[in-house]
């Protein structure tokens, strides 16, 4: 049972990781590409971390919860990275399919 | 005495006498040395002191040049002599003269005889101004007169022939000796005499005559019959006497008239008849006129020349040549007297001459008297000549007769021919001068010497410039090429296979992917390296791949370190890139590119093969010791960490010192360093207005305590799990860098200790003191200890002294990284605030 | 009090995080966690520009749950969008006028927007009054703005800003 | 446990740390502490040399871990010899720096002490990787010192020096790695043991590692063709630093001597005599190229830098003979050339500051203050450098040629060493003549506007003359006490050529 | 696997050498960074490639990767980090003193 | 079962890594490359977790933790550079 759960989590996590990357590959402009990794990968890695927590809680005498910390870090940092990247892209005026509001052009 | 009056009062007499004493001492040393090395030392000292003496009037151009020329030539000889003597010492097994002289046969039969002979003769010939090294002597004439006189007629140049005489028993008696010594002597004799005739400078004439006479003596040694040696030694004595007197006379003339130009000097007889008389006697002796000492030795010389060559086919050549040389000798002697003391009136003399002071003449008078006495009663030199010859020959004294009159033999006739011919030549001198001027192609030694030296200087400069273009690219290229060649050579001709016998791991797709990704990225960086910012982004990926390799192959500690270092390095590079051109310029030169590419590729293949070769070979290592002892004796489970802080803690101490020095060095470099960054990015876009993105700032505050917690975690567990002081230090630094990124320099700076130096120092101190602590307990430096404290309630708590050491590491890393980063950030602040955003706008409008 | 315990709020959090980090729950580690949680704020507090006060902790927990739920949903939505035909997507920049004033609230909102369905917060206006958000696929910008304001901004305002 | 061996390493480090606590303004305190430290280091070096003078080799296991697992320090005659040379040189270089060099930039004193930390550590270690670490310490400190004071040319030379040495460090690690990868150990004594019995299929690899290592050492020693970094670097740094750097190339020479007598020495089995075909020809070519550079220099400092190149060539020629006599000659020549070049760098500096804008250009300039004093000193130093008797330079060269007598390369060694000496003499005579003899009061009148400080106002002071005199008198002392010194160098050479002593001292019973 | 790592080291070395031979300080710094990657990897793999055996003592493990090269690489990484930092700042200083970022301080036409 | 899942997961993440590399080379804009690097960092975390489970070793946890932190700093610094040039202004 646990093994199935683990396997499911692992496959899901890996799939989302891949989907995030696919977004990076397939979407037509930078701002759209930004969506893929920032969201999908957080969940992907999140699933893997849960899998890891379960696995190590099972295989050692104590609970393994330190994976929570990685998730915490990621949930804080990934959006900030995305925000900064978007900001930089707006600054550089990279090609965008969406109409860029004039407010960005200070 | 003579010198005292000759030199004017303004000259620094003390210095002059010091040099003179040094010189005389060395000469004496040469004469008395019983050991060839000792002899050599004195020999070189004469060269040096003669340099000092000649250049005494260093304000004069010719004095400086002459001195340097003399030093160069005699120095060359001295070095040759050193070589010759060492070889000689090796052959005979001793540097002791008596031993060497006794083992003449051994020397002559030895394979090294020729080099020894050549080297020693080179030494002797340069010193004695033999052809083709004769030219330095006239050029050394710029020295003060008494010095020249003493130096050149009596002593210095005689050192060479003295050496010939001294080593005669050991070296002579072979065909090489005869041809070399005799040949050089003959040429020198002829050339010296010929040039002497055409000199217009009194001292120049005397110098060339000295050369000629030295050639004569050398020739005598070259003839190498016992009697020739006797004649040679006898002529040494005679020449010393008459030439010294003539030099002093010339000095008097110079002193009294202010010139030494023979064409200016005329009819001095009426002003200074006494000096004239002295000069006549000296010259006559020099010309070999009967009744004077020069005649007798010359006579012996003629005789020996005939004896020696009578069994050769070209026997007539030598006597003819020497007769011709003597003819010229007679001619220049006559010229010395006639042109100076008679021959009309003096023209344009700088001073009106008069008889010199009494004290100046006395030494000359004594010398001249000696000329006469020996000339008429040659036997009085017997007490000197005898022992000298014996020591030179190392054989019983041959029978010889020193007499004024030997009868009407060939030698006598040769003397007569020379005397008459000399007179004839002098009378026809005007024609000869014209002839000389015609053939004078300036091919004298001095010109050649100067040409050679000029070539040496200019070609050296050019060659040095060519070799050392002061180009970093060339230096590095040469270094890599050199290392590559050296690294490859052992494999040439080696028959062992590159691939070893060790089983290899199977490949998996993920590793292949990551490595190929890294390789492609690396190559892309090379291709786009001029787009610097993009190159930096890509470098990050390579670093990540390297970290993954560390992870894959069981090195978690390394992966952690690599990751942290990577980021800090990128931050550093970004900080620096701001002040550098964003875009590299295209480097021109296909040749350079292809050359570099070729070298890099070969080196890459080399590194690959080397790695492959090692990786496929089994090896026996000392690793098991560490894994066995780490826990029981090092007190830690993380073997890598125990190695770092314990087994090889000394390395780590060095490593953090490197980091500290780097920080200090960088800090020192920032001193007075001013740079201005661009006001626009590379696409001429203005910088964004937002210096402190709010979202980032907020979360950076939040992340700081979290990161510090992680750092503490990594630090404390390092001894047993992956981690340790260095990584913890970097995490701390990165957390603080984050504050810089988010909040800017000024804001962050004000919240940090102003001075990082004490921090670095404390860290180092902690590490060192931990090490020294063990010394107090009688253990070696850095011996560690650890205890498990079973504290009530709290439980097992391990404390290893090595962990304190790691704390020191941590502090140093934090201090050093922050010092570097803070200062890099401050670089910008040090500038006037001209690139304010508002200013930019103003400027744009 | 202030001097002895600079941050009564941060200390326990750090202590708990420490226990999570070391992955073990012994008295020694608790003690160590408390010590660190007590010591680290001494250094870090000066980096906190203004004091963060949480007025309604319960609502914070609720918000966290909402966000986690939204993240899950968002991922599936985005996954579908990515795997579908990218040409059919209608990306838009939307401008959200902000009522939030505190830095922490604005930042959290920006982060939450990025983490949730098809939106990435891209730019904050200089006066912090507007947030420009990039939406991956939207037909109705106004509805999206309204939902964000209601779902995230309001709770955040209640949590961090005393009205 | 005898802590003597570690003390010359730890002392400068501790002092360096201590100096780091002091503020920039405490210059007097810094100087006093530094000089006391230097004197103590000298005493320690003397104690060590006394301790090893009977031929015993002392070892010191750091952290109480036995070799080859831990790092072991070893003091043998060679190490002690290098320590004492370093200590002597650094004292005088430091005294000269107190004329003001030490205050024109930051952290001079700290870097100076840490430089000594690196040097002493490198001389004492028996571990190859540890040698790398100490190389890096001494290099990094030297980068700092080299750049100290700043200036355009200095920065450029510094950049070249740093980058080239970084490339060298990389190669060092490649070599160390290969050795570990094949032989599985890092201790040089253990490496020697294992290299001697290396499997035939690994011989080429071990030799390649040795040659890579050699190219690193050759770079540090400035051997042809890797000397290119040296002339500009040495010519453009401050005088006391250049003087101190007189020992830097010797570190490379030391390493060559250590590694290639110990690991790749005659008794090393298949890896033996690795440098047979490399060292001697390269060293001799270095003499040639150095001499040419010497003659071709247009600046006195560049010329002095080329003298360093020539002396490296001569030194390594001696080592390259790899005989007792050759090594002994080299070991005698080493301190001589170190002190003499050190003195010359200081002297040139003392002269050039008196020449105003003429600086060290080899052009006739003004008559400098204390003309005779400096001229005389220059003359003596030149004699030392050119190897003219009766000074130590002559003795060194004499020993060298004598040592080459039974070597097949005798004609080459003799010709090149002698011609090198001649060229040095020609070049130095020319420089001396240009600077001191052709100096003319007239130049002062012509260029009086150009010279900021009238040269005549520079009276030599004690801190200027003491180091120069000190270093020169060390050379004189080497001449006078030649006999005991040569006895010592002979014994050192013998010790080096029987590496089993070293191995035994390090590995004890295991060997 | 060994071949793959060997090639990686080789390529990094080649890139490092090529870049360090360029005429701009920044490229040289990049080249040196590559060289340090290459040499760190090289030194590391001298302990041979072992998967899943980190040298951290535990009861579950019987074999350990050679810890010594790892410790050496750690030291080497730190040292090359210090050196890189130094060169980076030195290149800035060169830019300030020489007026451009050419390694020899000369601007080519 | 778990092993198969891990293998599949490794495969999926590998493809993700490959895509990131591709985007890194492809660009076209600088932010694209930074994004690719950032994603690569996160994918690496995934890899490390998988690897940890695969080997049953918790030793790779710190590396993952560190990447989360370091990747962020790297991305932030690069973005700041685009925006301001001087990243610590
Ligand atoms: Na560690
Ligand atoms: Na220990």
What gap in Å lies between CA D212 and CA B480, rounded to an integer? 10
Whether the pLDDT of residue E87 is over 90: the answer is yes
CB D164 within 8 A of CB D146: no
Cα–ligand 1 centroid distance for B725 (angstroms):
7
Q: What stretch of H or E contains D60?
A: strand D58-61
Give contacts of C16 with chain A, Cβ < 8 Å.
none
Q: What stretch of H or E contains B232?
A: helix B226-257
CB B80 within 8 A of CB B53: no
Cα-Cα-Cα-Cα torsion B454, B457, B458, B459, nearest 10 degrees, comes to 110
Distances (CA, A) of B739 to B750, C41, D218, D369: 12, 15, 45, 58
| Across E41-54, average pLDDT | 89
Q: What stretch of H or E contains B839?
A: helix B837-844
* Short-list B339, B356, B203, CA closest to B271: B356
What gap in Å lies between CA B546 and CA B559, rounded to an integer? 8
In a domain, E105, yes or no: no
- List of residues 6+ apart from B750 with CB closer than 8 A: none
Is E105 an 8 Å CB contact of chain B?
no
What gap in Å lies between CA D356 and CA D452, rounded to an integer? 7
In a domain, E40, yes or no: yes
Note whether E86 contacts D162, CB cutoff 8 Å. Answer: yes
What gap in Å lies between CA D195 and CA B488, rounded to an integer? 19
**How buried is residue B454: exposed, middle or buried, by Cβ count under 10 Å (0-12/13-18/19+)?**
exposed
> What are the tens digits of pLDDT across the range A24-73?
888 888 988 888 887 767 788 888 998 888 888 888 777 777 888 888 88
Residue D212 — pLDDT band, cuts 50, 70, 90?
A: very high
Work out how many CB contacts closer than 8 A connect B with D.
316
* Short-list B477, B687, B518, B682, CA closest to B584: B682
What gap in Å lies between CA B561 and CA B565, rounded to an integer? 6
Q: Note the pLDDT of residue B793.
A: 47
Is chain C adjacent to chain B, meaning 3+ CB pairs within 8 angstroms? yes
What CATH number does the domain containing E83 carry? 1.10.287
Cα–ligand 2 centroid distance for B148 (angstroms):
75
For residue D60, the cross-strand partners are D73
Sole residue written with tokens 């770079």: D219
What gap in Å lies between CA B519 and CA B523, rounded to an integer? 6
Cα–ligand 2 centroid distance for B717 (angstroms):
19
DSSP SS3 for B686:
strand
CB D298 within 8 A of CB D239: no
* Short-list D469, D310, D479, CA closest to D396: D479
Q: Note the pLDDT of residue B841.
A: 37
What gap in Å lies between CA B260 and CA A47, rounded to an integer? 109
pTM of the predicted model as reported, rounded to 2 decimal places:
0.89
More confident residue, F31 or B209: F31
Q: Note the pLDDT of residue D133.
A: 94
Cα–ligand 1 centroid distance for A14 (angstroms):
30
Cα–ligand 1 centroid distance for F17 (angstroms):
28
In a domain, E41, yes or no: yes
Q: Nearest residue of B to residue D438 by CA position? A: B59
In a domain, E80, yes or no: yes
Residue B251 sits at φ, ψ, to 5 deg, of -65, -40
**How buried is residue D447: exposed, middle or buried, by Cβ count under 10 Å (0-12/13-18/19+)?**
middle
Whether the pLDDT of residue F36 is over 90: the answer is yes
More confident residue, D359 or B627: B627
> What are the tens digits of pLDDT across the range C122-139?
888 888 888 888 888 888
Note whether B677 contacts F30, CB cutoff 8 Å. Answer: no
In a domain, E109, yes or no: no
Give the residue ranges of DSSP H helices in B377-409.
Answer: 382-393
What integer best gives the mean pLDDT of chain D?
84
In a domain, E74, yes or no: yes
Answer positive or negative: Cα dihedral of B248, B253, B259, B260: negative
* Angle made by CA atoms A52, B710, B722, in degrees to the nearest 5: 65
Q: What stretch of H or E contains B791?
A: strand B786-791
Sole residue written with tokens 């791991």: B505
* Angle made by CA atoms B546, B550, B554, in degrees to the nearest 5: 165
Whether the pLDDT of residue D180 is over 90: the answer is yes
Whether the pLDDT of residue D363 is over 50: the answer is yes
Q: Note the pLDDT of residue B834.
A: 42
Cα–ligand 1 centroid distance for B644 (angstroms):
8
Distances (CA, A) of B657 to B607, B610, B824: 30, 32, 21
Q: What stretch of H or E contains D48?
A: helix D27-52
- List of residues 6+ apart from B684 with CB closer than 8 A: none
Answer positive or negative: Cα dihedral of D1, D2, D8, D14: positive
Pairing mode, if any, of strands C92-97 and D72-75? unpaired
**Helices (H) then strands (E): counts for chain B:** 36, 2
Q: Nearest residue of B to residue E44 by CA position? A: B550
- Which tokens in the block code for residue B576? 């620096």
Note whether E52 contacts F59, CB cutoff 8 Å. Answer: no
What gap in Å lies between CA D393 and CA F65, rounded to an integer? 63
Note whether A83 contacts B693, CB cutoff 8 Å. Answer: yes
Note whether B703 contacts A76, CB cutoff 8 Å. Answer: yes
CB B802 within 8 A of CB B635: yes
Q: What stretch of H or E contains B461?
A: helix B445-467
Q: What percent of chain D has a predicted confidence (pLDDT) above 70? A: 91
What gap in Å lies between CA D413 and CA D509, rounded to an integer? 42
- Which tokens in the block code for residue D315? 């030194």
Taking the CA of B800 as reference, the closest ligand is 2
- Which tokens in the block code for residue F23? 């985007």
Interface of F with E in 10-69 (CB under 8 A): 55-57, 59
Residues of chain B with pLDDT under 70: 1-18, 20, 56-62, 139-155, 258-260, 262-270, 288-318, 343-364, 371-372, 374-415, 422, 425-446, 775-800, 828-845
> What are the tens digits of pLDDT across the range C33-66?
888 888 888 787 777 766 677 777 788 888 889 8
CB A10 within 8 A of CB A47: yes
DSSP SS3 for D299:
strand
In a domain, E89, yes or no: yes
What integer best gives the mean pLDDT of chain E?
89
Q: Note the pLDDT of residue D480.
A: 86
Give contacts of C72 with chain A, Cβ < 8 Å.
43
DSSP A72-93: HHHHHHHHHHHHHHHHHHHHHT
- Which tokens in the block code for residue B540? 């990050």
Q: What is the ipTM of this complex?
A: 0.92
The shortest CB-CB distance from B490 to any of D1, D211, D226 is to: D211
* Short-list B228, B214, B186, B211, CA closest to B325: B186
* Short-list E17, E69, E65, CA closest to E38: E17
CB D404 within 8 A of CB D496: no
Distances (CA, A) of D92 to B35, C24, D463: 37, 60, 9
Give contacts of A75 with chain C, Cβ < 8 Å.
111, 115
- List of residues 6+ apart from A84 with CB closer than 8 A: B693, B695, B696, F75, F76, F79, F80, F83
Note whether A87 contacts B690, CB cutoff 8 Å. Answer: yes
The shortest CB-CB distance from E56 to any of F55, F56, F59 is to: F59
**How many residues would you count in chain D?**
511
Give contacts of B651 with chain E, Cβ < 8 Å.
71-72, 75
Note whether E83 contacts D151, CB cutoff 8 Å. Answer: no
Residue D470 — pLDDT band, cuts 50, 70, 90?
A: confident
Is chain D adjacent to chain B, meaning 3+ CB pairs within 8 angstroms? yes
The shortest CB-CB distance from D155 to any of E42, E76, E98 is to: E98
Chains contacting F (3+ CB pairs below 8 angstroms): A, B, E
Q: How many domains does chain E have?
A: 1
Residue F79 — pLDDT band, cuts 50, 70, 90?
A: very high
> What are the tens digits of pLDDT across the range B568-590?
999 999 988 888 888 878 877 88
In a domain, E77, yes or no: yes
What gap in Å lies between CA B47 and CA B27, rounded to an integer? 10
What gap in Å lies between CA D304 and CA D293, rounded to an integer? 10
CB B622 within 8 A of CB E21: no
Q: Note the pLDDT of residue B539.
A: 92
Cα–ligand 2 centroid distance for B802 (angstroms):
8
* Secondary-structure percent of chain A, ordered helix, strand, coil, rounded to 5: 80, 0, 20
> What are the tens digits of pLDDT across the range D283-294?
999 998 888 888
Sole residue written with tokens 């520009």: C49
Instruction: Please state, as a whole number, how many other Cβ atoms lie within 10 Å of the Cβ of residue D452.
Output: 7
Distances (CA, A) of C71 to A20, A82, B38, C111, C112: 14, 15, 97, 11, 9
Q: Which of B335-344, D251-260, D290-299 has the highest mean pLDDT?
A: D251-260
Q: Nearest residue of A to residue B692 by CA position? A: A84
Give contacts of B525 with chain E, Cβ < 8 Å.
15, 19, 30, 34
Distance between A24 CA and the closest CA of chain F, angstroms: 7
CB D493 within 8 A of CB D324: yes
Cα distance between the two ends of chain E: 48
| Domain encompassing residue E22 | 2-50+65-98
Whether the pLDDT of residue D490 is over 80: the answer is yes
What gap in Å lies between CA B436 and CA B200, rounded to an integer? 13
- Which tokens in the block code for residue B416? 């007569």
**How many residues would you count in chain C?**
163
């Amino acid at each position: 049972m646990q093994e199935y759960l683990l396997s499911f989590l692992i496959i899901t996590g890996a799939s989302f990781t891949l989907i995030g990357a696919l977004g990076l590959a397939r979407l037509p402009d930078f701002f759209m590409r930004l969506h893929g990794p920032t969201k999908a990968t957080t969940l992907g890695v999140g699933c893997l971390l849960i899998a890891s927590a379960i696995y190590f809680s099972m295989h050692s005498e104590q609970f393994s919860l330190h994976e929570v910390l990685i998730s915490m870090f990621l949930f804080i940092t990934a959006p900030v990275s995305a925000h900064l990247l978007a900001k930089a892209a707006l600054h550089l005026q990279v090609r965008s399919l969406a109409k860029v509001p004039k407010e960005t052009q200070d | 005495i003579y010198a005292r009056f000759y030199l004017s009062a303004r000259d620094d007499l003390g210095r002059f006498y010091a040099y003179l004493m040094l010189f005389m001492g060395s000469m004496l040393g040469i004469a008395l040395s019983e050991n060839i090395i000792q002899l050599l030392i004195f020999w070189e000292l004469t060269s040096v002191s003669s340099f000092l003496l000649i250049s005494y009037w260093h304000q004069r151009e010719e004095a400086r040049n002459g001195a340097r020329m003399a030093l160069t030539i005699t120095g060359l000889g001295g070095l040759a002599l050193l070589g010759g003597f060492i070889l000689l010492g090796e052959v005979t097994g001793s540097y002791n003269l008596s031993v060497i002289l006794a083992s003449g046969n051994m020397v002559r039969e030895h394979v090294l005889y020729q080099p020894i002979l050549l080297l020693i003769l080179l030494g002797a010939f340069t010193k004695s101004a033999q052809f083709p090294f004769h030219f330095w002597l006239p050029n050394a004439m710029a020295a003060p007169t008494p010095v020249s006189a003493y130096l050149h007629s009596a002593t210095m140049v005689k050192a060479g022939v003295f050496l010939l005489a001294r080593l005669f028993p050991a070296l002579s008696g072979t065909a090489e000796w005869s041809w070399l010594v005799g040949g050089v002597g003959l040429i020198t004799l002829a050339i010296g005499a010929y040039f002497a005739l055409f000199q217009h400078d009194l001292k120049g004439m005397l110098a060339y005559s000295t050369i000629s006479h030295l050639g004569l003596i050398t020739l005598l040694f070259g003839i190498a019959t016992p009697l020739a040696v006797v004649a040679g030694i006898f002529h040494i004595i005679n020449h010393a006497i008459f030439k010294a007197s003539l030099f002093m006379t010339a000095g008097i003339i110079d002193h009294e008239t202010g010139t030494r130009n023979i064409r200016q000097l005329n009819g001095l007889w009426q002003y200074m008849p006494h000096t004239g008389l002295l000069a006549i006697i000296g010259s006559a002796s020099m010309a070999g006129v009967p009744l004077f000492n020069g005649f007798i030795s010359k006579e012996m010389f003629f005789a020996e020349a005939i004896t020696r060559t009578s069994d050769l086919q070209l026997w007539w050549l030598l006597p003819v040549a020497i007769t011709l040389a003597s003819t010229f000798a007679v001619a220049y002697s006559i010229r010395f007297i006639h042109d100076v003391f008679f021959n009309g009136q003096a023209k344009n003399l700088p001073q009106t001459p008069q008889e010199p002071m009494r004290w100046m003449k006395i030494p000359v008078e004594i010398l001249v008297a000696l000329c006469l006495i020996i000339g008429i009663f040659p036997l009085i030199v017997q007490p000197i000549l005898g022992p000298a010859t014996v020591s030179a020959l190392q054989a019983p004294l041959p029978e010889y007769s020193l007499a004024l009159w030997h009868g009407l033999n060939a030698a006598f006739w040769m003397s007569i021919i020379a005397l008459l011919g000399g007179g004839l030549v002098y009378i026809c001198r005007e024609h000869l001068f014209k002839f000389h001027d015609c053939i004078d192609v300036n091919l004298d030694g001095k010109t050649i010497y100067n040409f050679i030296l000029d070539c040496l200087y200019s070609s050296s400069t050019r060659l040095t410039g060519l070799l050392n273009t002061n180009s970093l690219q060339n230096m590095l290229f040469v270094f890599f090429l050199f290392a590559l060649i050296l690294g490859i050579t052992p494999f040439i001709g080696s028959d062992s296979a590159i691939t070893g016998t060790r089983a290899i791991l199977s490949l998996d797709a993920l590793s292949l992917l990551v490595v190929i990704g890294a390789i492609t990225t690396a190559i892309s960086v090379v291709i786009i390296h001029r787009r610097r910012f993009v190159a930096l982004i890509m470098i990050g990926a390579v670093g990540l791949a390297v970290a993954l390799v560390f992870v894959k192959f069981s090195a978690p500690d390394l992966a952690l370190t690599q990751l942290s270092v990577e980021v800090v390095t990128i931050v550093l590079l970004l900080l620096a890139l701001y002040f550098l051109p964003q875009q590299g310029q295209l480097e021109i030169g296909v040749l350079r590119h292809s050359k570099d590419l070729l070298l890099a590729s070969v080196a890459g293949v080399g590194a690959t093969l080397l790695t492959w070769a090692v990786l496929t070979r089994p090896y026996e290592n000392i690793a098991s010791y560490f894994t066995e002892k780490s826990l029981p004796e090092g007190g830690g489970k993380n073997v890598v960490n125990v190695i770092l802080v314990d087994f090889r803690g000394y390395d780590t101490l060095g490593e953090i010192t490197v980091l500290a020095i780097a920080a200090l060095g960088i800090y020192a470099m920032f001193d007075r360093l001013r740079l201005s960054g661009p006001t626009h990015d590379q696409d001429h876009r203005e910088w964004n207005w937002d210096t402190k993105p709010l979202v980032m700032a907020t979360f950076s505050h939040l992340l700081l305590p979290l990161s510090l917690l992680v750092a503490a975690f990594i630090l404390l567990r390092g001894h047993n799990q992956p981690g340790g002081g260095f990584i913890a230090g970097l995490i701390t630094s990165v957390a603080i860098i984050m504050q810089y990124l988010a909040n800017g320099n000024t804001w962050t700076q004000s919240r940090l200790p102003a001075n990082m130096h004490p921090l670095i120092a404390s860290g180092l101190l902690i590490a060192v003191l931990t090490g020294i602590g063990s010394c107090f307990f009688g253990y070696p430096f850095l011996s560690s200890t650890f205890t498990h404290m079973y504290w009530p309630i709290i439980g097992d708590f391990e404390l290893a002294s090595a962990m304190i050491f790691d704390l020191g590491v941590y502090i140093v890393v934090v201090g050093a990284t922050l010092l570097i980063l803070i200062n890099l950030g401050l670089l910008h602040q040090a500038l006037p605030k001209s690139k304010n955003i508002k200013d930019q706008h103003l400027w744009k409008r | 009090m202030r001097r002895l315990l600079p941050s009564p709020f941060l200390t326990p959090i750090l202590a708990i995080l420490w226990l999570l980090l070391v992955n073990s729950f012994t008295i020694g580690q608790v003690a160590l966690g408390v010590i660190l949680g007590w010591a680290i704020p001494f250094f870090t507090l000066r980096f906190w520009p203004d004091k963060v006060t949480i007025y309604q902790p319960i609502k914070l927990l609720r918000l966290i749950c909402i966000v986690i739920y939204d993240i899950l949903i968002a991922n599936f939505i985005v996954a579908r969008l990515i795997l579908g035909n990218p040409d059919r997507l209608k990306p838009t920049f939307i401008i959200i006028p902000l009522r939030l004033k505190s830095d922490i609230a604005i930042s959290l909102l920006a982060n939450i927007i990025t983490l949730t369905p098809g939106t990435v917060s891209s730019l904050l206006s200089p006066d912090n009054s507007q947030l420009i958000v990039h939406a991956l696929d939207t037909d109705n910008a106004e509805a999206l703005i309204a939902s964000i304001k209601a779902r995230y901004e309001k709770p955040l305002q209640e949590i961090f800003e005393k009205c | 446990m005898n802590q003597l061996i570690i003390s010359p390493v730890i002392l400068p480090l501790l002092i360096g740390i201590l100096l780091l606590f002091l503020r920039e303004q405490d210059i007097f305190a810094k100087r006093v502490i530094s000089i006391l430290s230097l004197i103590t280091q000298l005493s320690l070096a003397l104690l060590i040399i006394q301790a090893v003078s009977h031929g015993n080799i002392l070892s010191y296991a750091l952290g109480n871990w036995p070799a080859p697992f831990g790092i072991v320090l070893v003091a043998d005659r060679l190490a002690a010899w290098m320590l004492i040379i370093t200590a002597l040189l650094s004292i005088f270089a430091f005294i000269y720096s107190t004329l003001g060099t030490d205050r024109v930039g930051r952290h001079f004193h700290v870097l100076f002490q840490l430089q000594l930390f690196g040097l002493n550590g490198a001389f004492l270690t028996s571990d190859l990787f540890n040698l790398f670490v100490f190389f890096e310490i001494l290099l990094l400190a030297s980068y700092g010192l080299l750049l100290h004071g700043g200036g355009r040319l200095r920065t450029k030379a510094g950049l070249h020096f740093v980058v080239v040495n970084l490339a060298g460090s990389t190669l060092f690690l490649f070599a160390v790695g290969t050795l570990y990868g094949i032989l599985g150990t890092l201790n040089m004594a253990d490496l020697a043991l294992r290299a001697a019995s290396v499997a035939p299929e690994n011989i080429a690899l071990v030799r390649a590692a040795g040659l890579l290592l050699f190219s690193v050492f050759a770079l540090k020693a400035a051997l042809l063709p890797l000397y290119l970094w040296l002339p500009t670097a040495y010519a453009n740094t401050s005088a006391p630093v250049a003087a101190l750097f007189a020992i830097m190339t010797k570190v490379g020479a030391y390493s060559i001597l250590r590694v290639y007598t110990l690991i790749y020495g005659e008794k090393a089995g298949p890896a033996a005599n690795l440098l047979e075909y490399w060292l001697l020809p390269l060293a001799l070519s270095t003499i040639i190229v150095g001499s040419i550079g010497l003659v071709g220099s247009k600046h006195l400092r560049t010329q002095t830098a080329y003298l360093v190149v020539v002396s490296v060539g001569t030194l390594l020629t001696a080592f390259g003979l790899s005989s007792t006599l050759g090594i002994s000659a080299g070991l005698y020549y080493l301190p001589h050339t170190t002190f003499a070049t050190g003195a010359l760098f200081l002297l040139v500096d003392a002269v050039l500051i008196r020449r105003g804008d003429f600086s060290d250009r080899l052009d006739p300039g003004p008559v400098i203050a204390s003309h005779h004093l400096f001229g005389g000193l220059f003359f003596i130093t030149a004699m030392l450098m050119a190897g003219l008797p009766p000074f130590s330079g002559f003795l060194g060269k004499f020993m060298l040629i004598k040592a080459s007598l039974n070597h097949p390369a005798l004609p080459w060694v003799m010709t090149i060493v002698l011609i090198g000496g001649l060229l040095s003499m020609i070049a130095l005579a020319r420089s001396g003549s240009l600077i001191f003899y052709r100096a003319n009061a007239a130049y002062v009148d012509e260029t009086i506007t150009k010279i900021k400080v009238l040269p005549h106002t520079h009276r030599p002071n004690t801190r200027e003359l003491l180091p120069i005199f000190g270093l020169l008198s060390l050379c004189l002392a080497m001449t006078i006490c030649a006999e005991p010194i040569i006895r010592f160098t002979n014994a050192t050479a013998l010790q080096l050529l029987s590496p089993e002593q070293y191995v035994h001292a390090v590995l004890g019973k295991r060997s | 696997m060994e071949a793959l790592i060997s090639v990686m080291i080789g390529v990094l070395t080649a890139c490092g050498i090529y870049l360090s031979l360029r005429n701009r300080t920044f490229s040289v710094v990049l080249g040196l960074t590559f060289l340090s990657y290459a040499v760190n990897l090289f030194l590391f793999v001298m302990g041979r490639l072992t998967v899943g055996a980190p040298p951290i003592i535990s009861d579950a493990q019987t074999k350990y990767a050679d810890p010594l090269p790892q410790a050496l690489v750690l030291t080497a990484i730190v040292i090359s980090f210090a050196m890189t930092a130094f060169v980076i700042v030195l290149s800035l200083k060169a830019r300030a003193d020489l007026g451009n970022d050419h390694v020899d301080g000369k601007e080519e036409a | 079962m778990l092993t198969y899942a891990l293998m599949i997961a490794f495969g999926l993440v590998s493809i993700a890594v490959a895509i990131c590399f591709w985007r890194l080379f492809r660009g076209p804009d600088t932010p694209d490359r930074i994004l690719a690097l950032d994603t690569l960092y996160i994918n690496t975390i995934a890899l490390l977790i998988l690897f940890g489970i695969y080997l049953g070793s918790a030793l790779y946890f710190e590396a993952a933790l560190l990447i989360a932190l370091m990747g962020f700093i790297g991305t932030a610094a690069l973005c700041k550079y685009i925006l301001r040039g001087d990243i610590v202004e």
